[in-house]
Amino acid sequence: MSRTIIINLIRFIALLFIQVFLLKNISLYNLSTPYLYILFVLLLPFETPNLVLFILAFITGLTVDAFYDTPGLHTSATVLLAFVRILFISITVQKDGFDNEPEPTLSLMGFRWFFTYALVLTFFHHLFLFNMEVFRFNELSYTLSRVALSTLFTIFLILISGLLFFKRKERI
């Protein structure tokens, strides 16, 4: 088995374990709920084929749905996340000259690019997730506040994990 496959399998299991058994019970005043499991889709290598990316996003969302008792909610949001990831990478990666980098990590891509990448993708995921969860326009301000606060909380956890687990890039 390839080293990349093993690393991503371990990452998948670890992130889902953390999400299901630790973060599921964390909610700040029912306004901010972290969804760290999306980091698995965010950190998949650039050369991952789109079909494989969508399948992995589907499996990730389906697994979270099984533990959260939300049939299809996280699955659809995670598949949307994969679609937005493809668009974001196709727009930014070729222009910024990151073609030789293997995966979009904080240590390889730099703070500014990774922060923008994680923020945009997390925002779209949370916007779709919370709008589908409520599915009412009369609670729009509550939903938008949940999106904003949950996005900030999730980004905070993503950046902390990026700083803890990834090595600095060696410049030659």
What is the predicted pLDDT for the residue at 1? 57
Reported as half-sphere exposure (CB side, CA atoms, 13 A), residue 22 has a value of 11
pLDDT digits (tens, 9 = 90+) for 82-100: 999 999 988 887 655 555 5
Tell whether the model's pLDDT for residue 130 goes beyond 50: yes
Instruction: Give the residue with greater pLDDT, 123 vs 139.
Output: 123
What does pLDDT average to over the chain? 87
pLDDT digits (tens, 9 = 90+) for 28-64: 888 899 999 999 999 998 888 999 999 999 999 999 9
What is the predicted pLDDT for the residue at 110? 80
Exposed e or buried b per residue across 49-62, where buried means at least 16 C-beta atoms within 10 angstroms of its C-beta: eeeebbebbeebbe
| pTM flag (> 0.95) | no
Tell whether the model's pLDDT for residue 172 goes beyond 50: no
Q: Which amino acid is at 119?
A: L
